[in-house]
Chains A and B, each alone.
Chain A
Amino acid sequence: MPFSYEGVVYLRRLFRFAGKYKIYLILAPLMVIGEVAMETYIPQLIARLVNLINEAEQTPLEMREILLLGGQMILMSILSLAFGAGAARMASIGAMGFSKNLRHGLFEKAQSFSFKNIDKFSTASLVTRLTTDVNQVQNMLMMLIRMAVRSPIMFVMAFFWAWRMNPSLITILLVAVPLLFTGLGVIIKLAFPRFKVMMEKYDALNGSVQENLIAIRVVKAFVRESFEKSKFARSADDLMNAQRRAEKVVILNGPLMQILMNGCIVAVIWFGGRQIARGDMNLGDLTSFITYITQILMSLMILSFIFVSYVLSKASVARINEVLDEQPDIVSPEQSVQSVPDGSIVFDHVSFSYTGSKEREVLKDISFSIRSGETIGLIGATGSAKSTLVSLIPRLYDVTEGKVLVGGNDVRQYDTAVLRDAVSVVLQKNVLFSGSIAENLRWGNENATQEEIEAACKVAQADEFVKAFPDGYQMDLGQGGVNVSGGQKQRLCIARALLKKPKVMILDDATSAVDTATDARIREALRDQMPETTKIIIAQRITSVQDADRIIVLDEGKISDIGTHEELLERSEIYREVYHSQQKGADD
């Protein structure tokens, strides 16, 4: 079983997130001890009470004594209740506080990640780690605080009282406990891998439903409903069978517990009965002793469950630690440059590979320089690393070789926030967030006035359609901007980037869903309104780049040519081909 020292270290490392909730995490177990102490003491009093009544048939009864005993018991119960409630409260505060801190820590870490770090984890897995895994750990902690302390204490105390009551009867446990552990051990060992399979099948089923939902139009267009049904039926049957295999084992748990408990009860009655007859045991001790035996077995069973849930959550702990251990690979230098003087850009023998290995370089020995205020077009086939190239300018990735200069300084010398404020990128895969249009636009500049927002939208040709919405700039976008069309979304993203008043503006295929005329208007507005800003435009359409000052033609990670539209038409084979594929018939 994977219960190792290493596992404990894992947990200990997470424990630093307890922060100011540490006190609760310590108080809760203390309260549990109090609760258990009371709980195990009460059967003692009950035994005395029964004995008292039993003896009263011979000797006259002391009413006072019974009431005193009853009073004591009620007091104990109230104390136990107070401790129990207190423990519940403390444990909740502690565990929830802990997981709040943990979530905070993880989110903070994720915020510090560079593009490379993000690529490494993938969005879906990061989300799972921040949600499901944290939840697992939180549940385990709740249980750990209350049960992990409770069970051993319960065991010790119940054992203590039972021992004091009748040491010889305790030997029954010598038979019962090994049986219990063997039984539970077998169940856990058998169930564990089966549950893992079941969880996998569960994920597979959910995955197939999700996929079907996303692609429902494809399914319907190809009339593949029955194909999908049989695919799903297979996953569903797989899940059911895995579930049955796993549960078949788990349901042994109840009968096992029952037979052991009842066996112990019968044994206590038999051996205890003989002792009572011989006068070695009081009649009243019998039921109390049974209570203790039950408490002991229960506590052991719960311990085994804790163990199981610990093992189950260990994977989550490990995944969380992976995120926490990840070092953001791009950080600002300590002595950083705090302002970007202008929008000039120099690529000096730049090579880049996502993995860092030389063989898989996607950019090879790129050199060029751009003057501040120039408009540069970037063109090349699918997969020619256009996006990669521009992502080096705001230092979203670090170059593998060579250097990139912005405003005369190596990008690695800048404070990243300063650099990225000055270099605005409209990403190819762009996202809007839930919230109003104005809120989204203010990402570019928190303090932008309504006039500034409208001005930016006018440049991005978005003002008109935004104003046509019933709520105008206050319209809610919905998650992922589902309430606007693709072209509208792109224009809003451009406006958002413009609000930064950047020194360099990069449009990475940012107008692909915008019609040609609007696209042209955007470019014209950019040229007129932001003459100082360096503009880099990546596009599939020649028309989007042909009036740029210079056009860079990228081919398989290398610069194939640089020049004006006319120059390239004359000398670049690739450029000419692209041009003709789009232009034929236009001259008619």
Chain B
Amino acid sequence: MPPRNMKPTAKPKDLKGTIKRLLSYLSGSKAQLIVVAVCIIVSALVSAVGTYMMKDIIDIYIKPLIGQENPDFTQLLYVVCFMLLIYLAGTVATYINNRVMMKLSTGTLNKIRKELFDHMQSLPIRFFDTHTHGELMSRYTNDTDTLREFLSQSLPQTFSSSLTLIVTLIMLIRLSPLLTLILICLLPLNMVVIRAIGSRSGRYFAQQQKAVGAVNGYIEEMIAGQKVIKVFNHEKKAQQEFDRRNEELQHAATQANTLASILMPIMANLGNIQYVIIAVIGGILVLNHQVSSVGTLVAFMQFARNFSMPITQLSQQFNTILQAMAGAERVFAVLDEEPEQDNGYVALVNARRDEHGNLTECAERTGLWAWKHPHSADGSVTYAEWKGDVVFENVVFGYVPEKIVLHDISLYARPGQKIAFVGSTGAGKTTITNLINRFYNLQSGKIRYDGINIEKIKLPDLRKSMGMVLQDTHLFTGTVRDNIRYGKLDATDEEIEKAAKIANADFFIQHLPDGYDTMLTNDGANLSQGQRQLIAIARAAVADPPVLILDEATSSIDTRTEALIERGMDELMKGRTVFVIAHRLSTVRNSQAIMVLENGRIIERGNHEDLIAQKGRYYQLYTGKFELS
């Protein structure tokens, strides 16, 4: 198998480009974005105006009333009502903003998820070989989560924080340029603290992340292997290693969390200290009449408090944005993967013969298929009968170019033949079948299917024509019936049960709690390996394909049952081509041609009798016991 590589990058490589690309998902929602922007502006203005009004209320509407005999509160009432209205407007703006943004972010995420999944379906098998499931899963979980956070929170908050910062600054200058200058002089301290804590906590969080991975990975591996641990009395050893990792995690987590939770009290109290300094200096300035009034000072102090908040927010956002963009980059990397090439133009269609014996295309299944060649020169279409003849011509292949797995393979399968591949693990048997249906492309050589180079056949048609039962059986969540129907989506219940009977699965399915409607979960974990294989065979049988590939399809089925299945399948595949891979020689014995593979080369070919007579490798394998005893 090709090597796996996974290198999760923590920092985005191209921040600007990634942000741009991400924002392009929002380009279709310009109207909503404008609404959001307006709402954010309104919110920021409201909070600024509200705070600013405090000054006027104190200086103009309350202070003059102090000590009056019969103070007139109507003015105050008006202004208070006005303030309430403004605040109400702010609240409405916040709500609309949240609402629109929520819709926008969930919708965008949905779009990205679907795009990701759709694209993933189009990628070649090679891609899945080189990426672990965990790695790809985290594109859907961690990475999209951070994206969501970015869209629904970081993005609007960054905008609103920057806006608040600007508005507040303007207000501060309007109230007192002198105090503003003093305030700005105090700011660098905040910056230094944020930066010092931020960079350190980033480091520890990365460490924690790694430690979490190490602990969780260990848990997964050990719990999965728990039975082996028991058998080997390995409990203490496992515990020791676990404790070591656990303590590492504790250390990193303690540091990371300390720093993360220490930021808030530090920033808050730094704010307090600055507040005090402004208050004291402001007080003195009021007395010296360099600041106009107490109301101004009170308002200024309020704004000063509002000033440090967006700075803290922005600095916190910065980390989130970096993380989100790193996630976005990983998602985009998958989207940028080259999809499977399909330049095929020959299609496989159901056919029937008309009265003249000519092939014509038809919609329903007839058991007769035809290759449909469109001719680009004159736009005409010709049909050629499907025969099921497969030829390998000097095929060379390697999962990585440097390491050739199949050397110069030439073989042919005549229609109606059963071709078997035999050889030790790693000899290249599975690889050959993976080439027939173009899971991988050849390095050199050609594979012809009824004389047509398979690269010229439309990929879906090529694969549809080949039923495959793979070495590792995989079932989907759903009923047994659904799983068999996977082979032919419009199969009737009768067809499904018939296929199950051919696969000899009908009997055990009937005995399941809900028969064919028994739910399978967790890759069919409630079934034995043998039963899963039976269902997989039924799945291929219901597809009723012209060509069948059985890759160790019966390895966990006892030989008696296997013989029964074989009978059914032979009936079904009469006149069609079957490829069989098995190391159990009884499985392949009745094949028309047996290829013995070794190290990616065919070393012997022939039927069982020929090969036994040759007294070569096959003979050795077959009679291994005699030779060695």
User: How close is A477's CB to chain B, nearest CB, in angstroms?
Assistant: 11
- The interface residues of chain A, by DSSP majority, are classed as helix
Most chain B beta-carbon contacts within 10 A, residue among A142, A217, A232: A217
The answer to whether the Cβ of B414 comes within 8 Å of any Cβ in the partner chain is: no
Other A-B pairs, 12, CB within 8 Å; known A66-B284, A104-B243, A263-B84 = A80-B268, A112-B235, A217-B468, A223-B464, A240-B107, A252-B95, A255-B94, A269-B57, A273-B80, A286-B298, A420-B231, A515-B583
The interface residues of chain A lying within 8 Å CB-to-CB of B345 are: none
Within 8 A of A (CB), among B567-584: 583-584
Chain B neighbourhood of A46, CB < 8 A: 275-276, 279, 301
Instruction: Tell me if A49 and B280 are in contact (CB < 8 A).
Output: yes
A229 B556 Cβ-Cβ under 8 A:
no
Complex Cα gap A71–B177 (Å): 25
Q: Is B114 an interface residue (CB 8 A)?
A: yes
> Which of A69, A206, A588 lies in contact with B137, CB distance below 8 A?
A206
Task: Give Cα A78 to B266, complex, Å.
Answer: 9
Instruction: Report the separation of the CA atoms of residues A567 and B270 in the bound assembly, to the nearest whole angstrom.
Output: 92
A interface footprint on B247-262 (CB within 8 Å = 1, 0 otherwise): 1011001110110011
Segment from B367-375, B493-501, B617-625 that makes contact with A? B617-625
User: B227–A485 contact, CB under 8 A?
Assistant: no
B125–A91 CB distance below 8 A: no
Q: How far is the CB of A417 from chain B (nearest CB, A)?
A: 5
Secondary structure dominating the interface of B = helix
CB contacts (< 8 Å) of B463 on chain A: these are: 220-223
Q: List 14 A-B contacts (CB under 8 A).
A: A39-B268, A50-B294, A53-B282, A74-B276, A131-B215, A210-B137, A218-B468, A270-B80, A273-B61, A277-B71, A416-B233, A482-B1, A515-B621, A520-B628
In the assembled complex, A443 has its CB within 8 A of some CB on chain B: yes
A498 within 8 A of B: no
CB of B310 closer than 8 Å to a CB of A: no
Task: Evaluate contact between B76 and A273: CB separation under 8 angstroms.
Answer: yes
Residue numbers in A under 8 Å from B347 (CB-CB): none
Q: Which residues in window 197-233 of A have CB below 8 A to B?
A: 205-229, 232-233
Stretch at the interface among B97-105, B164-172, B318-326: B97-105
Given known contacts A283-B63, A520-B624, is B589 in contact with A381 (CB within 8 Å)? no
Which of B19-27, B216-224, B393-401 touches A?
B216-224
Confirm or deny: B141 has a beta carbon within 8 angstroms of a beta carbon on chain A.
Answer: yes
Which of B116-124, B329-337, B382-390 participates in binding chain A? B116-124
Interface 9-mer from A157-165, A177-185, A241-249, A359-367? A241-249
**What's the minimum C-beta distance from A164 to chain B, rounded to whole angstroms?**
21
Beta-carbon contact of A236 and B114 below 8 Å: yes
Chain B residues contacting A207 (CB-CB under 8 Å) are: 477
Is A517 in contact with B265, judged by CB distance below 8 angstroms? no
B608 contact from A89, A213, A218, A585, Cβ within 8 A: A585
Q: Are B629 and A520 in contact (CB under 8 A)?
A: yes
Task: Evaluate whether A443 and B232 lie within 8 angstroms (CB atoms) in the complex, with A240-B109, A277-B65 already known.
Answer: yes
Does residue A547 face the partner (Cβ distance < 8 Å to B)? yes
**In the complex the two chains form, is A251's CB within 8 Å of B559's CB?**
no
Complex partner residue of B227 from A115, A236, A287, CB under 8 angstroms: A115
Report the Cα distance A111→B627, complex, angstroms: 45
Q: A582 vs B95: C-alpha distance in the bound complex, in angstroms? A: 74
Query: B225–A517 contact, CB under 8 A?
Result: no
Note all chain B residues with C-beta closer than 8 A to A482. 1, 4
Which residues of the other chain, A, contact B275 by a CB distance below 8 angstroms? 46
B133 within 8 Å of A (CB atoms): yes
| Cross-chain contact A588 with B612 (CB below 8 angstroms) | yes
Q: How far is the CA of A78 from the CA of B302 in the complex (A)?
A: 21
Q: How far apart are the CA atoms of A224 and B489 in the complex, in Å?
A: 9
> Does B140 interact with chain A (Cβ within 8 Å)?
yes
Please tell me if the beta carbons of B530 and A283 are within 8 angstroms of each other in the complex: no
> Counting CB contacts under 8 A, is A170 at the interface?
no
B276-A70 in contact (CB<8A): yes
Q: What CA separation (Å) do A255 and B43 show in the bound complex?
A: 11
Of all A-B residue pairs in the complex, the 10 with the closest CB atoms, nearest first, are A84-B265, A517-B624, A215-B474, A277-B65, A262-B87, A70-B280, A81-B269, A382-B530, A221-B468, A251-B98
Q: How far is the CB of B83 from chain A (nearest CB, A)?
A: 6
Judged by a CB distance under 8 angstroms, whether A52 is at the interface is yes
Give the distance to chain A from B256, nearest Cβ to Cβ, in Å: 8
A426's nearest neighbour on chain B, judged by CB, is: B231
A424 to B217, CA, bound (A): 27
Query: How many B residues, CB 8 Å from partner?
Result: 163
- How far does the alpha carbon of A581 sit from the alpha carbon of B627 in the complex, in Å? 22
Q: Which residues from chain B contact A421 at a C-beta distance below 8 Å? A: 233
Q: Is the CB of A78 within 8 A of B269?
A: yes
Contact B559 A111 (CB under 8 A): no
From 34 to 80 in chain A, residues with beta carbon under 8 angstroms from any chain B beta carbon are: 35, 39, 42, 46, 49-50, 52-54, 56-57, 61, 63, 66-67, 69-70, 73-74, 76-78, 80
Contact between B110 and A237, CB atoms less than 8 A apart: yes
A521 at the interface (CB under 8 A from B): yes
Within the complex, what minimum Cβ distance (angstroms) separates B227 from chain A?
A: 6
Name the distance in Å between B100's Cβ and chain A's nearest Cβ: 10
Q: What CA separation (Å) do A66 and B239 show in the bound complex?
A: 62
B58 on interface, CB distance cutoff 8 Å: yes
Segment touching B, from A4-12, A298-306, A404-412, A429-437: A429-437
Contacts of A142 in B (CB 8 A): 257, 261
Contact of B117 among A77, A209, A255, A396 (CB under 8 A): A209
Q: Mark B186-228, 1 if CB is under 8 A from A, else 0.
A: 0000000000000000000000000000011101111111111
A95 / chain B contacts, CB cutoff of 8 Å: 257
**How far apart sit A244 and B109, CA to CA, in the bound complex (Å)?**
12
Does the CB pair B558–A123 fall under 8 Å? no
Say whether B455 faces chain A, with CB atoms less than 8 Å apart: no
Closest Cβ–Cβ distance, residue B352 to chain A (whole Å): 23
Using an 8 Å CB-CB cutoff, how does the interface string of B41-73 with A read, 1 for contact, 0 for none? 000000000100010011001110111100101
Verify if A586 is at the interface (C-beta below 8 Å from B).
yes
Interface residue A308 (Cβ < 8 Å from any Cβ of B):
no
In the complex, which residues 456-475 of chain B have their Cβ closer than 8 Å to any Cβ of chain A? 460, 463-464, 466-468, 470, 474-475
The reply to whether B265 and A381 contact each other, CB–CB distance below 8 Å, is: no
Nearest CB in chain A to that of B50: its residue: A262
Residue B30 CB within 8 A of the other chain: no
Which residues of the other chain, A, contact B103 by a CB distance below 8 angstroms? 244
Residues of the A chain whose Cβ atoms lie less than 8 Å from the Cβ of B612: 588
The residue in chain A whose Cβ has the minimal distance to the Cβ of B141 is A206
Q: How far is the CA of A541 from the CA of B71 in the complex (A)?
A: 106
- Assembled-state Cα–Cα distance A487/B427 (Å): 12
Q: Which of B63, B80, B233, B555 contacts A266 (CB 8 A)?
A: B80
CB B481 to nearest CB in A, in angstroms, measures: 15
Query: Is B412 positioned at the interface, with any CB of A under 8 Å from its CB?
Result: no
A221-B463, A277-B73, A524-B629 given; A111·B584 CB < 8 A: no
Partner of A586, one of B246, B487, B622: B622
A486 to B430, CA, bound (A): 13
CB nearest neighbor in A for B543: A222
Are A233 and B560 within 8 A (Cβ)? no
CA distance A205 to B283 in the complex (A): 60
A339 contacts B by Cβ under 8 Å:
no
A227 touches B489 (CB 8 A): yes
Residues of chain B within 8 A of A488, CB atoms compared:
425
In the complex, B528 has a CB within 8 A of chain A: yes
Give the docked Cα–Cα distance between A1 and B508 (Å): 46
Tell me which of A228, A237, A240, A270 contacts B121 (CB under 8 A). Answer: A228
Could you mark each residue 418-429 of chain A with 1 if its beta carbon is under 8 Å from any beta carbon of chain B, else 0? 001100110101
A87 is an interface residue with CB less than 8 A from chain B: yes
Whether A396 pairs with B230 at a CB distance below 8 angstroms is yes
A124 interfacial by beta-carbon distance below 8 Å:
yes
State whether the Cβ of B290 lies closer than 8 Å to any Cβ in chain A. no
Q: For the complex, is A338 an interface residue (Cβ under 8 Å from B)? A: no
Closest to B522 in A: A124
* Residue of A with least CB distance to B468: A221
**Would you call B242 and A96 a contact (CB within 8 A)?**
no
Taking a contact as CB atoms under 8 Å apart, the answer to whether B95 and A104 are in contact is no
Give CA–CA (A420, B231) in the complex, Å: 6
Query: Does A254 count as interface, using CB distance less than 8 angstroms?
Result: yes
